[in-house]
Chains A and B, each alone.
Chain A
Amino acid sequence: QSALTQPASVSGSPGQSITISCTGTSSDVGGYDYVSWYQHHPGKAPKLMIYEVTNRPSGVPDRFSGSKSGNTASLTISGLQAEDEADYYCNSYTSNNTLYVFGTGTKVTVL
């Protein structure tokens, strides 16, 4: 099972919007609405930001939103803030032997 494909890095200025893509196959991203996104500041515990493609857990700012089209899911951060600088990972359920697969990770830099 290969990791889902994410861009290595995305950057934006404060207040701008950025979008991180997460590309898989029909066996994972495209086949199920079980895509989640995690924010990870190095040395800290990862944090759930989006679950089941579009849903935000309580406490996550509405600047974060998720979507999916075909085999590609996306995380959009609107009104980028300095504290959004972190690594972001997508995750999907997969019909392969390995039940869950993460993306390759994207480093978000706030300029």
Chain B
Amino acid sequence: QVQVVESGGGVVQPGRSLRLSCAASGFTVSTHGMHWVRQAPGKGLEWVGIISFDGSSIHYADSVRGRFTISRDTSKNTLYLQMNSLRPEDTAVYYCARERPGGWSDFDHWGQGTLVTVSS
């Protein structure tokens, strides 16, 4: 059964760092592109970034480029989101999502998300 489970959220002060994890099961992250998507309180979904299936290509939304880094550990079948220089506007539920097999522009399995709160 395909499943992704996010963890690592919490309360962090502005300017500090936090690393989120996304543990995959039922498939391998080395054969699927993986995305991060976030939803601020009361707001809509916002795409954050992607790492390609082979890890050779990583892209970010303008709002996080230069501050966030996506990586993965294929031996642990886990995706990561390193978030530096956090701002209050980064407060959101962060989801990881798998690219649909055979596609590259849509996301067929999502986790339940992990909440990040940036506040002093």
Contacts and interface: CB of A to CB of B under 8 A. Distances in A.
Contact of B105 (A46, A51, A98, A105): A51
A52 B13 CA distance: 40
B111 interface: yes
Contacts of A101: 47
B108 interface: yes
B106 A91 contact: yes
B44 interface: yes
Interface string A69-111: 0000000000000000000010101000111111111000000
Contact of B107 (A44, A48, A99): A48
Interface residues of B, number: 25
Contacts of A38: 45, 107
Contacts, number: 72
A100 B59 CA distance: 10
A100 B47 contact: yes
Interface of A: 1, 3, 32, 34, 36, 38, 40, 43-48, 51-52, 57, 89, 91, 93, 97-105
B110 A97 contact: no
A41 B100 CA distance: 20
A3 B61 CA distance: 12
A100 B95 contact: no
Interface in B100-117: 100, 103, 105-113
A45 B112 contact: yes
A43 B39 CA distance: 11
Contact of A51 (B50, B59, B95, B106): B106
Contacts of A100: 35, 47, 50, 105
Interface in B64-120: 65, 95, 97, 100, 103, 105-113
A104 B45 CA distance: 8
B45 A89 contact: yes
